[in-house]
Amino acid sequence: MTVDYRANDPATGRTVVLTIPSEDSPDSPILLARFYREARAAGALQHPNIIAIYDLGVDRGSPFITSELLEGSTLEQIMEREKSEGTQSTKSAATFLDYILQVSRGLAFAHQKGILHRDVRPGTIFVTKTGTAKLTNFAFARLPQATSRPYGNLVGTIDYLAPEIMCGDHVDGKADIWALGCTMYEVLTYTRPFHGEKMTEWMFSIMSQEPKPLRELRPDLHLEIDEIVRRALKKDRHERYKNAERLIADLEPVVLRMQSAASAAAE
């Protein structure tokens, strides 16, 4: 529903991304609200693992956002390339988990500011050419002053929605942790943890079924990784990681060990 342009900011001289609603975009108050929400949410967060928003305004009746120019690929694109090339390995798993670790730091910061992303997935994680992972696309974010919506107004991408969202229960940062758990599972196995052809089937899978154990699909990975993903995907949010900081505490030493092992093997 939007168009991005590479542009020059005459005030600062830097190259930016200029985002405006597309001409084909429906004149919808809901879509316009999402447009503004993305700028306000990401604009309130200055963190190396979150895309930087520079400005939000209206020019000749058309709203616009200027943001940081990112060069690289989304995590989804990287995963698809690796899948097609058949280059899956313990080394690449360490790289993927490092991206997840970086984004977890961005999420922890957002949650501290009272902002929920609500659409964490491989397609909203961007990896720059220098290997920095950044969380993007805050169109579905919940701002600090907002309240949870009741059941019937599902927000986000169905494949990554936490059970409490389906039930209309209290939603907090643990829903983003669930989505991050889904993302970890997907980038490590090339398959999503929950499946369904129709929305009702997706919901049933998320609410009632357990994903195939990670170790069955990736026996080359350490059991600790399986345990981290399992905890992130606990259906009862009270059994899930309490916050992103707890997830980081478990994931960081695993990533460091995997990177060290990969470096030693390359020597």
Rounded Cα distance, 21 and 144, in Å: 25
From 9, 55, 119, 172, active-site residue: 119
Rounded Cα distance, 65 and 43, in Å: 10
Rounded Cα distance, 63 and 106, in Å: 27
C-beta of residue 49 within 8 angstroms of C-beta of residue 134? yes
Rounded Cα distance, 170 and 193, in Å: 23
Q: CB under 8 Å to 106, separation ≥6 — which residues?
A: 45, 47, 48, 49, 50, 133, 134, 135
119 is catalytic: yes
Q: Please, how many CA atoms are within 13 Å of residue 178, restricted to the half-sphere of its CB?
A: 31
Rg of the chain (C-alpha set): 19
Catalytic residues: 119
